[in-house]
Copies of this chain bind each other. A is one copy, B any other.
Amino acid sequence: MADNRLIYLPLGGAGEVGMNAYVYGYGPEGAERLILVDLGVTFPNMDTTPGVDLIFPDLSWLLERVDQLEAIIITHGHEDHIGALGHFWERLGAPVYARKFTGALAARKLDEHGGDMGAVQVVGPWPDMSQLGPFKVSFLPVSHSIPESSAIVIDTPAGRIIHTGDFKLDGSPVVGEPFDADLWREVVGQGVKTLVCDSTNVMVGHPGRSEEVVGPAIQDLVRKAKGMVVATTFASNVARVKTLADAATAAGRSVCLLGRAMKRMITVAQETGVLTDFPSTVSPEEAQQIPRENLMLLSTGSQGERRAATAQLARGKYLGLEMKEGDLFLFSSKTIPGNERGVLQIVNSFSEMGVDVVDDSAGIYHVSGHANGPDLEALHDLVKPEMLVPMHGEHRMLRRHAKLAADKGIATEIATNGTMLDLTGKTPDVVEYIESSRTYLDGAVKIGALDGVVRDRIRLALNGHIMVTLIIDEDDEPLGEPWAEVMGLPETGLSNTALVEIIEAEVDQMLGRAADKILTDDKALDDSIRRIVRQTCMSEIGKKPEVTVVVSRLA
């Protein structure tokens, strides 16, 4: 009988922040029974993924092994942990395990994509356990920036794994469960083989702060404000939304929620019981009737997302509401690297309106949801694992986290997406590299990151596009003149003549000189036209555009 082994394979989230997807397996090599922890997305940008709607992990490896998959486990409801669930559940076909609030969000994801909401198994926290093939799995509460976040205790025949999910050490998280060190001590008491641990904030050198510290600062700010107050944060940060709403109430202001995500999150949090005593809110229509100094709007779009409520307010009216001179806008959030340009554009638009913008540069209106370096060390010391595998972070973060562990004599290994570790023994051993890329949602279609579609779009954006059409008659001679169309290029170049005319003339001349064997050979003709177009553009406009040649033969 083959030896059983315990494997760990990140398909997303290891080597990046976002797009979490981690596979655990136990059984004979190649026939392990599998569970998937989290199934998140990451977001596109113009630099690398123009026109793409969402980015998923490349699940090819797992999709070839769906018969081995016991379950999908969701640690918490952030998009980078749950966002791909609806898009892949049908093909994965496994039950989805989550706690109540997360489960409600998961069920919505399935429903939106025609999946079976009944596939979601809502389970209680530790000490509740679910038997999933060779695994016994339990949800161990942690604090984070969304309610009901959980670490996953994975008991295997080879020992206990704790997969932290996203977490911080917060004893007073305002909404949801505090981090309970005593509970954790109970769980780790019998020994933990492997701690698979969040690395997002490992580079931050000071201990993290509790969610409760932002309340007084925000209350003070809102109380002193004269005009309308608008605040933005992640809608899923239910604790922060409550802190903001409470500050409004304390200052005698009505609360209005702007943006679909904001309303949905509060509704789900209330329905599932994680949020109680949230102030009553007014609709945008009602808000228009309330004096500005008695009003506070809570809006989506803290990252500058173009379609969200905040960006719309920055462009003008949104649902009849409008910022004015003397109003206050609060970013109760941190700008995620890469989003700076969009956020600053909004700040400057508000500035032009005479709105005072307050962000978290003072460090008092926002706290992170992730454990900082010293907090991670505290967790290492609490859990005392035999091995530590850093996950969820860019390579520099995984590396720093591995170093923290190694300095304490804990066996560790950096495993980025596609790196399979064998955790059976005393050290994490790399046993295989899986080809692992990314999958893009592009409109309604899933495309592979490496299949060239997006590369072509980037080329179009950098170089512009020239199309040349030509008709070749029955005698293999050009019929009439070639025709050029230009998109994304200057109309005229250095010679001050229309670029298309110059190209048409150059192609025409080339055709006049061309030997029969070129005119009769589609490939040769295409190459020749392409070359002359690019040469002409180089001398006329100093760049080489993308060229498409269409030759129609009247045969």
Show the binding face of A for B, using Cβ within 8 Å.
15, 45-47, 50-51, 203, 205, 337-338, 340-342, 344, 347-348, 350-352, 357, 361-362, 394-396, 398-399, 442-445, 447, 453-454, 456-458, 460-465, 467, 469, 471, 479-480, 483, 485, 487-490, 492-494, 540-543, 546, 548, 550, 552, 554
Asked if A51 and B347 make an inter-chain contact with CB atoms under 8 angstroms apart, the answer reads no
Q: How far is the CB of A415 from chain B (nearest CB, A)?
A: 13
With beta carbons under 8 angstroms apart, the residue of B357, B395, B447, B487 that contacts A396 is B357
CB-contact partner of A461 in B342, B348, B444, B461, under 8 A: B461
A289 CB to closest chain B CB (Å) equals: 30
* Contact partner, A467, options B347, B394, B467, Cβ 8 Å: B467
B45 touches A50 (CB 8 A): no
Contact of A453 among B347, B490, B540 (CB under 8 A): B490
CB neighbours of A205 from chain B (8 A): 362
Which residues of chain B are near A488, meaning CB under 8 Å?
A: 51, 453-454, 456-457, 460
Residues of B within 8 A of A457 (CB): 460-462, 464, 488
Tell me how far the C-beta of A354 lies from the nearest C-beta in chain B, rounded to whole angstroms: 8
In the assembly, what is the distance between CA of A542 and CA of B442, in Å? 8
In contact, A396 and B464 (Cβ under 8 angstroms): no
Q: B residues within 8 A CB of A341?
A: 45, 47, 337-338
How often does this chain occur in the complex, in copies? 2
Contact B552 A471 (CB under 8 A): yes
Which among B447, B543, B552 is the interface contact of A483 at CB below 8 angstroms? B552
**Known contacts A337-B340, A489-B453: A550-B461 contact under CB 8 Å:** no
Check B552 against A396 for contact (C-beta < 8 Å): no
Residues of chain B within 8 A (CB-CB) of A395 are 348, 351-352
> Which residue in B47, B461, B540 is a CB contact (below 8 Å) of A51?
B461
> In the complex the two chains form, is A46's CB within 8 Å of B461's CB?
yes
- Minimum-distance CB pairs A-B, first 9: A444-B542, A443-B542, A443-B543, A461-B461, A50-B461, A457-B488, A460-B460, A351-B396, A456-B488
User: Out of B47, B348, B394, B479, which one reaches A394, CB within 8 Å?
Assistant: B348
Q: Is the CB of B490 within 8 A of A445?
A: yes
Set B347, B348, B443, B465: member contacting A541, Cβ < 8 A: B443
Query: Within the assembled complex, what's the spacing in Å between the Cα atoms of A205 and B361?
Result: 10
User: Is there contact, CB below 8 Å, between B458 and A461?
Assistant: yes
Tell me, rounded to whole Å, the shortest Cβ–Cβ distance linking A530 to chain B.
13
CA distance A543 to B51 in the complex (A): 9
- Complex interface: chain B residues within 8 A of A394 (CB): 344, 347-348, 351
Interchain CB contact under 8 A, B487 and A348: no
Of all chain B residues, the one with the shortest Cβ separation from A483 is B550
Q: Would B337 and A344 count as touching, CB distance under 8 A? A: yes
